[in-house]
Amino acid sequence: MSCILVTGGAGFIGANFVLDWLARPDADAVINVDKLTYAGNRHSLALLDGDPRHRFVQADIGDRAAMDDLLARYRPRAVVHFAAESHVDRSIHGPAAFVDTNIVGTFTLLEAVRACWQALPDAARADFRFLHVSTDEVFGSLSATDAPFGETTAYAPNSPYSASKAASDHLVRAWHHTYGLPVVTTNCSNNYGPYQFPEKLIPLMIARALAGESLPVYGDGQNVRDWLYVGDHCAAIRTVLAAGRIGETYNVGGWNEKTNIDVVHALCDSLDALLPRDDGTSYRAQIRYVKDRPGHDRRYAIDARKIERELGWRPAETFESGLRKTIAWYLDNQPWVRDVMSGAYRHWMGLQYAA
């Protein structure tokens, strides 16, 4: 049976991707390899329990023997690489894991994939793809008047997270140019949607609003991000996997720039309508401006014209429709949220937000 190998498929975007992929009746099987760090959650894949097209394997992408074994056993036609340490604030507290997984782990995976790919028969070698999922944060920070990031914008990463992702992008590029590995890379803006770990802005604010806790907005709240609903990102990845040109990179974004305070206000207003606070006042009363993140990038913005022009992809959701779906999902899935807010989660909240 034809299959693809997905790394990090128990995380936020990976799980959404695997669920979307297998929702199509003609989909290839998925071998889902994930280390299950604090950010990986088997419950996010519960809808696939008993589905013979999904095989979950707990392993580290930095474990060469495990990667060799998986690739030899399943001979995937493609690898979609999501696995990473992904949270900027955690990268400031502890950058080592970001170097280990995002750089050394990607290197180890590339070497295992290269060996497997080189041994394929000619036709399978030509059809093979390695799709590397990356971020717009590799391009650094924009001023209010700068043009959005294009595919040729120079890399200028500012955080340990973005520096480690930039390094991984360079490795992927080099494995194509030097060894001919058929790679494609996507650089996407901020995602939101179901199954996102509540350390990132939108699910963190939903969880804290419902718990009656403060809503911590860093600095002046005027930092800008381009927000994309995760289902749209998954569709973009499927499109690039199917038709992206080998060796190319594609910027993926939502055409949806918002300041952080506008995002938090929109969330509060939606919650006011859906689940009013007991005292009848707005969730906005819980907003607190807190100390800024060190080195906080001011603005990210994506020019996503290349993927639209070449591959016909555009986001389907507006911010309003995506946010409605997201809030509804979190309200309907409180057991999932409670489950991930484990002891380790509380430890992180204490470390990051105690003051």
Whether residue 117 contacts residue 127, with contact meaning beta carbons closer than 8 Å, is answered with no
* Shortest Cβ 220–ligand NAD spacing (Å): 22
Which range of residues in 12-20, 108-116, 215-223, 305-313 is near ligand TYD by CB under 6 A? 215-223
Residue 339: active-site member: no
Instruction: Write out the binding residues for ligand TYD, residues 255-274 only, by CB under 6 A.
Output: 260
Judged by beta carbon, residue 336 or residue 353, the one nearer ligand TYD is 353
Distance CA 172, CA 266 (A): 38
| C-beta of 21 vs 255, nearer to ligand TYD | 255
Contact of residue 251 among ligand NAD, ligand TYD, none (CB under 5-8 Å per partner type):
none
The entry of ligand NAD, ligand TYD, none near residue 13 (CB within 5 to 8 angstroms by kind) is: ligand NAD
Beta strands 78-81 and 215-218 are unpaired
Give me the helix-helix angle, 319-332 and 260-274, nearest 10°: 50
Mention every residue, 6+ apart, whose C-beta is less than 8 A from residue 119: none
Burial class (CB in 10 A: 0-12, 13-18, 19+), 269: middle
The option from ligand TYD, ligand NAD, none interacting with 349 (CB < 5 to 8 A, set by class) reads none
User: Which one of ligand TYD, ligand NAD, none interacts with residue 84, CB within 5 to 8 A by kind?
Assistant: ligand NAD
> Is 137 a known active-site residue?
yes
Based on the residue annotation, tell me whether 127 is a catalytic residue of this protein: no
Q: How far is the CB of 131 from ligand TYD (least distance, A)?
A: 21
The 85-114 contact track toward ligand TYD, x by CB under 6 A, reads ---x--------------------------
Q: Closest by alpha carbon to 341, among 155, 203, 227, 226?
A: 203
Beta bridge partners of 289: 217
Q: Can you give the binding site for ligand NAD, defined by CB under 6 A? A: 7-8, 10-14, 34-37, 39-40, 60-62, 82-86, 101, 105, 133-135, 165, 188, 190-191, 197
Cite the DSSP H helix spans in the chain: 12-22, 64-74, 88-93, 96-98, 106-118, 122-127, 160-179, 201-210, 230-243, 260-274, 305-311, 319-332, 334-340, 343-353
Distances in Å between the Cα of 245 and the Cα atoms of 186, 196, 240, 249 are 12, 30, 8, 8
249 scored as a contact of ligand TYD (CB under 6 A): no
Determine if 13 is a binding residue for ligand TYD (CB under 6 A).
Answer: no
What is the DSSP pairing of strand 257-259 with strand 224-229?
A: antiparallel
Residue 275 tokens, joined: 């689940």
Which of 229, 243, 225 shows the shortest CA–CA distance to 307? 243
Q: Which is nearer to ligand NAD, 199 or 270 (CB)?
A: 199
Q: Does 35 bind ligand TYD (CB under 6 A)?
A: no
Tell me whether strands 3-7 and 257-259 are parallel, antiparallel or unpaired: unpaired
Annotated active-site residue in 60, 85, 136, 232: 136
Catalytic position from the list 34, 60, 85, 137: 137
Nearer to ligand TYD, 114 or 293 (CB): 293
Q: Name the residues that contact ligand TYD, by CB under 6 A.
A: 88, 190, 200-201, 204, 216-218, 223, 225, 260, 293
| Residues annotated as catalytic (active site), given as ranges | 136-137, 161
